[in-house]
Amino acid sequence: MNSLISLHQLGWQPFFQQQLALDEYEHATIARIVTIHRNEYVVQTNHATLKLAIDTESASFTVGDWLLLDTNNLLIRRLERKSLFRRKAAGSAAKAQQIAANVDTLFVVCSLNHDFNLSRIERYLALAHDAQVEPVVVLTKQDMCNDAEDKCSAVQQLDPMLRVVSVDARDQSSCLCLADWTQQGQSIALLGSSGVGKSTLVNTLMGQTDQQIGEIRQDDSKGRHTTTARSIHFLPSGAVLIDTPGMRELQLAACEQGVKQTFADVEALASQCRFSDCQHTTEPGCSIQQALASKALDPRRLSNYRKLLSEQARNSATLAERRAKDKAFGKMVKTVGTASRHVKKGY
């Protein structure tokens, strides 16, 4: 499938442009990964949709990555990422998986009805911060809620710099407040629990235009036509929406920095405690305890901070253990291999 699309429409930005050497600028083809199949990436250039086999060098690439290709459409290199969402793989094998790269803005979607939950929003903010992506909290179902303003200001209190909007996700004019982040050149992603209105919001942002663009038709190995969903969609407003399945099941793993950034106020208080190893329980001169007593700090926020910090530590420990185990296993295989070769050679 060939199609004309500008690099800007694909989400190209100066951050990537400045990584190009002069000869790359002149001769290389710039491509963005739009979908991953089992054995190949589907990449979009400004004039064609191409397939690229996945090999050991490219195994850790993901949707949203920018690549440079040579004149034969072979990989030269992947450009440095601006941001990256990772997740712990499902099951006991706690291996990190790359989920989406080069997202600019994450819409943290939460509904204003019974599902409204500040601690859950904080969890998503930690993920956004860890990925180096700007979060925007999008509160849906404003039409079903009488105290939308109170809830908006409760979210705003989590962080005075945070952008918070409320919408009726079904209504296009209500979603115009998202225009700042959905312009051409921008890449966005959505995160939120089930039923909060993510699909509704995507449909509203998409209008009716994505039908053909959202699908990739290709021949499978038996010559049959198959249609697969793209993980990247082009919004009529100009932005690129990265919607990989894994985005919706993101977990906290090895993201201490993301949690600390989300709870910068708690971190700042903790740094003022008299003892540097203060546990913030009964120690004298504890700023956290003082802030709780004066109601400057919400006990819910402190307990969620502790919970998320320990959750990510637990998941990172599993990652580290996994790596150590893999290493030990690798060594064992090598030793056994050497031993068996020795046996075969009759040593």
Ligand X SMILES: Nc1nc2c(ncn2[C@@H]2O[C@H](COP(=O)(O)OP(=O)(O)OP(=O)(O)O)[C@@H](O)[C@H]2O)c(=O)[nH]1
Tell whether residue 280 is a contact of Zn ion (CB under 5 A): yes
Which residue in 65, 159, 168, 243 binds ligand X (CB under 6 A)?
168
Question: Which of 31, 125, 136, 196 forms a contact with ligand X (CB under 6 A)?
Answer: 196
The stretch among 276-284, 307-315, 321-329, 333-341 that binds Zn ion (CB under 5 A) is 276-284
Residue 191's binding partner out of ligand X, Zn ion, none, with CB under 5 to 8 Å set by partner kind:
none
Closest CB 256 distance from ligand X, rounded Å: 28
- Out of Zn ion, ligand X, none, what residue 199 binds, judged by CB under 5 to 8 A for its kind, is ligand X
Binding at 198: pick from ligand X, Zn ion, none (beta carbon under 5-8 Å per type): ligand X
CA separation, residue 87 to residues 32, 94, 123, 299, 312 (Å): 21, 9, 14, 29, 11
Residues 128-167 that bind ligand X (CB under 6 A): 140-141, 143-144
CB closer to ligand X out of 148 and 292:
148
Contact residues for 70 (Cβ-Cβ < 8 A; gap 6+): 27, 28, 29, 76
Long-range contacts of 178-181 (CB under 8 A, 24+ apart): 178/107, 178/136, 178/138, 178/205, 179/237, 181/104, 181/105, 181/107, 181/136, 181/239
**Closest residue to ligand X in the complex (CB):** 197
Q: Report the nearest approach of Zn ion to the CB of residue 287 (Å).
A: 6
Nearer to Zn ion, 202 or 291 (CB): 291
Using the rule CB under 6 A, is 200 a contact of ligand X? yes
Q: Which of Zn ion, ligand X, none lies near 273, with the C-beta cut-off 5 to 8 A by kind? A: Zn ion
Binding segment for Zn ion among 110-118, 144-152, 220-228, 286-294 (CB under 5 A)? 286-294
> Looking at beta carbons only, is 202 or 253 nearer to ligand X?
202
Partner touching 196 among ligand X, Zn ion, none, CB below 5 to 8 Å by kind:
ligand X
**Residue 140 annotated as binding?**
yes
CB of 217 to ligand X, least distance (A): 25
Instruction: Give which of Zn ion, ligand X, none residue 49 binds (C-beta under 5 to 8 Å, depending on kind).
Output: none
Three-class secondary structure assignment of the chain = CCCCCCHHHHCCCHHHHCCCCHHHHHHCEEEEEEEECCCEEEEECCCCEEEEECCCCCCCCCCCCEEEECCCCCEEEECCCCCEEEEECCCCCCCEEEEEECCCEEEEEEECCCCCCHHHHHHHHHHHHHHCCEEEEEEECHHHCCCHHHHHHHHHCCCCCCEEEECCCCCCCHHHHHHHHCECCCEEEEECCCCCCHHHHHHHHHCCCCCCCCEEEEECCCCCEEEEECCEEECCCECEEECCHHHHHCCCCCCHHHHHHHCHHHHHHHCCCCCCCCCCCCCCCCHHHHHHHCCCCCHHHHHHHHHHHHHHHHHHHHHHHHHHHHHHHHHHHHHHHHHHHHHHCCC
| Binding segment toward ligand X, per CB under 6 A, in 27-35, 88-96, 189-197, 231-239 | 189-197
204 interacts with ligand X by CB under 6 A: no
228 is in an annotated binding site: no
258 binds, among ligand X, Zn ion, none (CB under 5 to 8 A by kind): none
What token pair was written down for 271?
């740094």
194 is an interface residue for ligand X by CB under 6 A: yes
Range 214-273, binding Zn ion (CB under 5 A): 273
Rounded to the nearest whole angstrom, what is the least distance from the CB of residue 155 to ligand X in the complex?
A: 16
> What minimum distance in Å lies between the beta carbon of 192 and ligand X?
6
Q: Which residues bind ligand X (CB under 6 A)?
A: 140-141, 143-144, 168-170, 192, 194-200
Q: Which residues bind Zn ion (CB under 5 A)?
A: 273, 278, 280, 286, 288
